[in-house]
Structure 1
Amino acid sequence: MPIIKLSPAERRRLTAFTTCIILAVVAWVFAVLSTPHNFTVPKVIVFKNAPQRRAFHSLQSDTVNATVQGNGWQMLFSRFNDDESQLTVDLHTLDQRDYVVLGSQMRRINAAQPQNRQIIGFDPDTLYFDFSSRRVKKVPVELITSIDYKKQFAQSGDIVLKPDYVTISGPSELISRITSWNTDTLQLDNVSEPVSKQLKMQSVKEVNMTVYPKTIQVKIPVDEFTEKTLDIPVKVINNPHYYNVKVLPQKVKVTFMTSLTDYPDMDDAFFEATADLSLWEQKGYHALPVKIKRTPPYCRIVKIEPAVVDFIIKK
């Protein structure tokens, strides 16, 4: 049961009064937001026309506070407009001095701003830079990969990078510490055929440094692999006294994985199996383990039978 019982006429008057209050508040908000205001907006600095003969390093943050002249609506929505969050600063004056005055570029900067949102000041207004000698150097490309091959498939040859070197330029102290430059990660899944991709180089974090080119071509040969078994002669090594040594058996069966393309060409000339006689002289071994000292590229040894060989020394 309502505490206050109103007649129909009183309820109509209360509704009209409440509506007037709401409309008055809305009108007041619109009036306030339509009034001109000066407000501060953070701007991320983007440099252009950097000096080519001088390496530089900014001595302050990459963000400045711009004082903008606009109305309350623009102030309210200024934080949500990412397209206007950057500020392009021209560095052509750094050829003669080590600072840039933002106020001197006000007309050019405002030409890129909406007419109803003109910038009237910056904090800080002057950007200072540190300079050092500039150096240019070529460094090899370091390919970063995360590749998952389909079962029975794998890389079957050397990776080709075009180009395999990039040119970097920047402060001498920084450039001297760089020995290679990484690519972005080449991430592939379930690969079963040769790869040919254009890959970006990792971006430069320093504003006073450049890398060229920014992309390279990557080619990775991929083939299906299968097992093959060959009889490989066992060679005795570390026999300084030239003993007459005979190993038993004289050949071992080596099972390995090879690509289908290379399968017909694989023979025992590509492999070298050894037995180390110093293990008998120095450690008293009665049988010598077999080691594969030479294998073809991109072949993987699966097993060696037998893994150890007996030996006889003839005097």
Structure 2
Amino acid sequence: MIKLSATERRRISVFLTCLTFAVCAWLVVAFSSTYNYTTKMYVRYKNVPLKRSFHSLQSDTIEAVVKGTGWQMIFARVNEKSSAVTVDLRSLDNRPYVVLSAQLQRINTEMPRNNPVIGFNPDTLYFDFSNRSIKRIPVKLLSAIRYSKQYAQSDNVKLEPSYVTVSGPSAEIDAMTTWPTDSLKVNDVNENIVTTVGLKTPSAGNINIYPKAVKVIVPVNEFTEKTIKIPLRIINNANYYNVKLIPQRVTVTFTTSLDKYADIDADLFEAQVDMEYWQKYGYSTLPVKIIRVPDFCKVVRIEPRNIDFIVKK
């Protein structure tokens, strides 16, 4: 450790004090100098057209190039959210755009004299004047859900709200039938999914949607197998033959959620055999078709798959 004498310590203290004052003086001079800097401003409109509906094709914020001191630049960064510029839309009666540089003189009358705006990016704002429509359309959930073993979706998906309001050019709005969500991706699911999913952002700036997100509820339950006997129905017996099926019932094994296990019975299924297989194609046995199955149930096997029959003419 270096030991300093009292004189040396006094000299170092004087040096550091002078250095501190020099840095402070430099900062004061630097921040008091004038610069051109960029800041974001919210756009407000006045003198809007009364006889024409319109829609801005760009964001409600623009970048403004402002002339000011370093202190003003710092304050502008801090208060960026409160900065706004008023744009006069009187020229929209004759053309679909507004040139901001043409309004600089008027805009600067609303700005501090020592803090003028010298330019904008973009300098030209464009507007859409096509006929506009408003429509409510259903939301379409886009999802990629992977479930844990023996788990699956057990009931209909609920969306809150299930409809969204879209507005925009009539030609595009009239062609819309649904509005998609962002993709819901979840893996190894073994319980109900309750989450919020955003809606797809419109590809065009002249289309608006409300709301921007929906609540998604996906019922999930554990599944198991169940077996029941289902009576067979004969179809296409054009000559009304007396047909005896052997057997008259089939055994169907299917998967169902545990919460609906007790409620699933034979009345919710429908099985049939088609006599045309015998009359037109000469089949000696008739294949069984299950034509009605409860929602979210999946048939695993049918026994027997083919039915013997006796025709009494």
TM-score calculated relative to the size of structure 1: 0.70
* 1:290-312 Cα distance to aligned partner (Å, 9 max, x none): 11011111100001111111111
Contact persistence 2:137–2:164 (CA under 8 A): yes
Once the two structures are superposed, residues 187-225 of structure 1 have per-residue CA deviations (whole angstroms, 9 ceiling, x without a partner) of 111111112112211122322221111121111111100
Matched, 1:197 2:198: no
Deviations 1:36-94 (A, max 9, x none): 8879x8x9998666979724464x999999767699xxxxxxxxx9xx9xx97766627
Contact 1:169 1:211 in 2 (8 A): yes
Please name the residue that 1:310 is paired with: 308
CA positional deviation for 1:108: 9.0
Secondary structure of the equivalent of 1:138?
Answer: strand
Matches of 2:110 and 2:283, distance apart in 1: 82
Structure 2 stretches lacking a partner, 5+ long: 1-32, 70-76
CA shift, 1:182, in A, is 0.8
Please state how far the C-alpha of 1:175 moved relative to its aligned partner: 1.2
Matched length: 270
Residues 44 and 62, structure 1, Cα contact 8 Å, conserved in 2:
no
Contact kept? 2:108, 2:117, Cα under 8 Å: no
- Bigger drift between 293-302 and 280-289 goes to 280-289
Aligned with 1:93 (options 74, 86, 89) = 89
Structural mapping, 1:237-256, within 5 Å: 237-256=235-254
Identical aligned pairs, as a percentage?
44
Structure 2 counterpart of 1:120: 118
Q: Structure 2: how far apart are the matches of 1:130 and 1:293?
A: 52
CA root-mean-square deviation: 4.0
Q: Distance in 2 between matches of 1:89 and 1:236?
A: 78
Residues 88 and 109 of structure 1 are in contact (CA less than 8 Å); yes or no, is this contact kept in structure 2?
A: no
- 2:108 paired residue number: 107
Which residue among 120, 133, 158 is the counterpart of 1:160?
158
1:283 match: secondary structure: coil
How far, CA to CA, are the matches of 2:45 and 2:237 in structure 1?
70
Q: Return the alpha-carbon distance in structure 2 between the equivalents of residues 292 and 272 of structure 1.
A: 6
- Of residues 205, 208, 211 in structure 2, which corresponds to 1:213? 211
CA distance in 1, matches of 2:41, 2:285: 72
The residue number in structure 1 matching 2:221 is: 223
Q: 1:158 to 1:125 in 2, by over 3 A?
A: closer
Give the match's secondary structure for 1:263: helix
Query: Contact (CA 8 Å) 2:224, 2:256: kept in 1 or not?
Result: yes
Task: Give the unaligned 5+ runs of structure 1.
Answer: 1-34, 72-80
TM-score of the pair, normalised by structure 2? 0.71
Q: Is the 8 A contact 2:131 2:169 kept in 1?
A: yes
1:143–1:182 contact (8 Å) kept in structure 2: yes
Which deviations, in whole Å up to 9, do the C-alpha atoms of 1:89-108 show, x marking residues without a partner?
76662795332221225539
In 2, the alpha carbon distance for the partners of 1:61 and 1:194 equals 38
